[in-house]
Structure 1
């Protein structure tokens, strides 16, 4: 897998990131054209950078209505956007980065984007200005400050990212076109650490009641530099909750955007995005209207594809693939996603203390028939899925085979399994039972459990069914389970600096949540790698550390189905793509709608 390529050296970066004086020629706009895309979760906020606003749909809308210094393509390669500006390392020790904006960048209302907009992002995401006692004043249902919280209590509510390592207030220069950020240590992904979130002039109008964009930005900058006070608290409240809406707001200023699209309307059915005519950059949209249609029912999504009412959809593997295959008016392809299904053994507080015995634990993991699981789950769904041999590379990537030969995955090969009985005989346990926790409402997990149970029985290991719909709560209970079937979005570890939202509600399932010392060391090295060589080495160390961890075993990368109508162009999914919408501004609508196919069979 090719991952984002960080800077090689200060001089090389300065030479490579030459700020373009003009943008690329604007693409030809398909006048009157529109495309519709399925979304599986409702839209709730135009600021996906807040803790409560971090959902997949909110992130997609935020991605298309905002801009920045670059983005990641489906292979994980960082694409720099010099039409927005440039980022350059100006000092290695201390590690300082200067972000300079291009002259033409502006918000959709015509207000220039300047360094104050970036300073606002630092104020929110660095968490340096949040009041120490503010967390105790939050409403747990909303994540917002309670109405009776002190007027000077500051709480932006950002979960944080790379800017958490930027302790000092940034300095602005070049008449407000540049801002310099000092980090406590080198950080990978520094190019994308600082990008516009919500407009500073709009937040000044809503929170401080200022008039005029220039005066508003000056007020915001002054409040941030002050570091506390009622004005900063008002700004923080507006940043954290002022852009939360599920239906079109009355205040049109909340719809001001910086990206290729802007929100026109929002409602229960979804979100309608329209081309931002004020956008001046290399990501100008071809299709004037993009509808994000909400449906939690995949059968409704497939029916809409069949009738020509939907143009692009990302579907689950399994029954969805069989149904969408019957839709002759759509093209479908199966690809590996960044989601990894895995097995985790409980070594902190297991139900059966036998899991603390290294030999018994390894014997159980060896008994899991990974190839059989893949064969039974994905047979006939258009993919040659196989057991995963790398934590950080995907099957089909150029370096996947190389990684698999040196990362320790051979410890679970067919030859290694021949030693299973000897390993088991070395275990000093009297109780060979294993309580397996999983989501009992998920058919894929249920089938995986049954295969594991039957295979373990051949070695006199008794696997008990601990599946439950309440598995999330059970996961954190002591002595509630021995082994859990979980999944993890590997992109969260391998793409530092990406504005990425975990696509899963299984956030506790990350192998990096409670890493051992080797994994933690590799992860720290990866997060601080600013050269390609350092990054490659750190990824290899992380892969090896995860395979050496005898409480984890990857099963497979979950395949997904991408379907789109005939004639729709530019849709380019990939295992490292942030979403199917990663390049939606380049899409092309069909010249004519195809004749709807018959409804898919049930």
Structure 2
């Protein structure tokens, strides 16, 4: 908590708290005795995904937490049933987060206390200690952060940021119930008093009180080794709630049932969802033990899945948020940009995709961007404005002559690293060797079964790698910034860093797309990466189920939109 300096702001609070006399009935949309069983590879380890954002926790949070909206194909989609987010001042940059009328599953309303608690968590007030027992934020530069103002009805907060931020619509959430945190931190039984105690601790910057809240925030919501979690820690503000957590030795199972108190725009239709271990061959069990499963497309499972398609099972293939790319080390043989451009222009991405994808050719979508994904509106702008097609995406009239003009002798060897355990990378490498030879390049097989170790060792000239499509300015800098911790090529550009800084403070979606294209153009000019194709994920859906629309990307790709799921009569 030492990485944050707190500036108190006056607040007026009226906490709306009501206890229902009886348990609400299930939504009328729920069809009794219906169940959908999902083959799941996640693990539910914490009911506070803000403190522990592991994939399994994010999957569950998508079903049991309401929020102001979600990113879908790179665009923010608001959930007006939860509330609204509005910029109320440009200078200073101030955003109002205004709740509609959501309630927790114990019928305690969500209000400003819940939003303030979520804001404080995101601001670093409750950062956990690292493995050495030191404050994880101790070395961070203190950030002067004004405590948000709460409106008189305590259903909204207004946050004044030091500067505009691109992620303003999702910067505040309500990941855990403030009245539960207040009760556990301070022993306060009355929900109103518990909420007020949380507010006072944050407003006053009371380190002792904040330490107690931090202990609850980081530890109490963790699922025990026995799979147990107290009922108050499993309260839900989303369409479903956790009914049970179990482990039969083959893996963890989580049962979800409709939340009777949910007041969202779309209420659940199915009476129970069972997330169960996927097993070794989930595609073979859809229609029997499972109704839904997500798998990586491989040669081994293509025939099974093709047969399911012939029997009218739905097979939905969308990208998983990562892309395949051919990336260069801008040293050695590729020190000069002309040499890098000559090599990349000699390699048609379609040839690598065709050989790498094999029997799953239709599942791989080609791409021309390292920073955006096909299907998003941002991609259309980036693809048009980055200059990739002219600079690197159009084959040279004479690839051998272009190589010679770059000062590279015929037969020059290029050590290419790839993951020998990956079907796509192995196939793409074979194609790379063939097309590069036509232009006079000699490809050396530097493939490795321990890809990450070989990548870190750096004894390669080019690499066929699968990398995440960055979703935030921070992730762009990690991959492409001057000090990027996840940089593969080591390419740096002060102009790129400046553009990312500008992008991070852009609140207009159209301006943001234009800036993203400019950032992409700096990568194109560096000639260090050839985007190949998006990596697919296949969702197999039983004929007895409808309404499932998997989301692209990493975050909750299957459980997004779970309220729409239903069993076919």
Superposition TM-score tier, normalisation by shorter sequence = 0.7 to 0.9
Matched, 1:185 2:163: yes
The alpha-carbon deviation at position 566 of structure 1 amounts to 0.8
Q: Secondary structure at the match of 1:373?
A: helix
Q: 1:557 to 1:252 in 2, by over 3 A?
A: same
Distance 1:260 1:317, change over 3 A: same
User: Residue 566 of structure 1 aligns to a residue in which SS?
Assistant: coil
Deviations 1:55-93 (A, max 9, x none): 2221111111101122234x4443322222222211101
CA distance, structure 2, for counterparts of residue 275 and residue 287 of structure 1: 8
Shift of 1:172: 1.6
How far off is 1:417 after superposition?
2.6
1:215 correspondence with 2:193: yes
Choose the corresponding residue for 1:536, options 513, 522, 535: 513
Check the 8 A contact 1:270/1:293 in 2, yes or no. yes
Once the two structures are TM-superposed, the CA of residue 455 in structure 1 deviates from its matched residue by 3.1
Shift of 1:589: 1.1
1:96 to partner: Cα distance: 0.4
Deviation at 1:185, TM superposition (A): 1.5
Q: CA deviation at 1:470?
A: 3.2
Are 1:488 and 1:510, in contact at CA under 8 Å, matched by a contact in 2? no
Whole-angstrom distance in 2 between the partners of 1:184 and 1:220: 24
User: 2:455 is matched with which residue?
Assistant: 475
Cα–Cα, structure 1 residues 271 and 26, in superposed 2: closer, same or farther, change >3 Å?
Answer: closer
Cα distance in 2, alignment partners of residues 282 and 512 from structure 1: 46
CA shift, 1:255, in A, is: 0.8
Residue of structure 1 in register with 2:64 after alignment: 65
Mapping of residues 159-170 of structure 1, within 5 Å: 167-170=145-148
* 3-state secondary structure, aligned to 1:324: helix
Residue in structure 2 matched with residue 295 of structure 1 by the alignment:
278
Decide whether aligned partners of structure 1 residues 230 and 412 sit closer, same or farther in structure 2, where only a CA change above 3 A counts: same
Q: Secondary structure at the match of 1:321?
A: helix
Given the alignment of the two structures, is residue 47 of structure 1 paired with residue 56 of structure 2, yes or no? no
* Alpha-carbon distance between aligned partners in 2 of 1:336 and 1:450, rounded to the nearest angstrom: 23
Q: Equivalent residue for 1:204?
A: 182
Equivalent pair of 1:129/1:227 in contact (CA under 8 Å): no
Question: 2:54 and 2:491 mapped to 1: Cα distance?
Answer: 23
Q: Residue 270 of structure 2: SS of its match in structure 1?
A: coil
Measured after TM superposition, the shift of residue 337 of structure 1 is 4.5
- Name 1:234's counterpart in structure 2: 212
* 1:121 partnered with 2:111: no
Q: How many residues align?
A: 525
Are 2:504 and 1:527 equivalent residues in the alignment? yes
CA drift of 1:372 comes to: 1.4
Provide the residue aligned with 1:257 in structure 2: 236
Q: TM-score, normalised by structure 1?
A: 0.78
Distance in 2 (alpha carbons) for counterparts of 1:424 and 1:182? 54
* Contact 1:392/1:494 (<8 A) preserved: no
Distance 1:79 1:459, change over 3 A: closer
Partner of 2:285, secondary structure, is helix
Q: Quick one: distance in 1 between partners of 2:89 and 2:257?
A: 41
CA distance 1:46–1:417, shift in 2 (3 Å): farther
Deviation of 1:313 after TM superposition, in Å, equals 2.0
Partners of 1:355 and 1:68 in 2: how far apart? 47
Which position in structure 1 is the counterpart of 2:85?
87
Residue 550 (structure 2) pairs with residue 549 (structure 1) = no
- Is the 8 Å Cα contact of residues 182 and 194 (structure 2) preserved in structure 1? yes
User: 1:331: Cα distance to partner?
Assistant: 1.8
**Could you say which residue in structure 1 is the equivalent of 2:17?**
none
Rounded to whole Å, the distance in 2 between the matches of 1:393 and 1:250 is 39
CA drift of 1:197 comes to 0.9
Tell me which of 396, 405, 419 is aligned to 1:417.
396
Equivalent position of 2:442 in the other structure: 462
1:369-423 alpha-carbon deviations (Å, 9 max, x no partner) = 3211111233543727464234455556678677545432224667533343233
Q: Distance in 2 between matches of 1:402 and 1:78?
A: 17
1:296–1:186 Cα change, 3 Å: farther
Contact 2:413 2:441 in 1 (8 A): yes
The answer to whether the 8 A contact 2:318-2:537 is kept is yes
1:321 aligns with 2:302: yes
Superposed displacement of residue 210, structure 1: 2.8
List alignment gaps of at least 5 residues for structure 2.
Answer: 1-25
Q: Which residue of 2 aligns with 1:582?
A: 560
TM-score, reference length from structure 2: 0.82
Q: 1:399 to 1:108 in 2, by over 3 A?
A: closer
Distance in 2, Cα, partners of 1:70 & 1:238: 26
Q: What is the distance in 2 between the residues matched to 1:360 and 1:189? A: 38
Contact (CA 8 Å) 2:75, 2:376: kept in 1 or not?
Answer: no
Aligned to 1:383, the other structure's residue is in SS state helix
Would the aligned equivalents of 1:487 and 1:509 in 2 still touch at CA under 8 Å? no
Give the drift of 1:540.
2.8
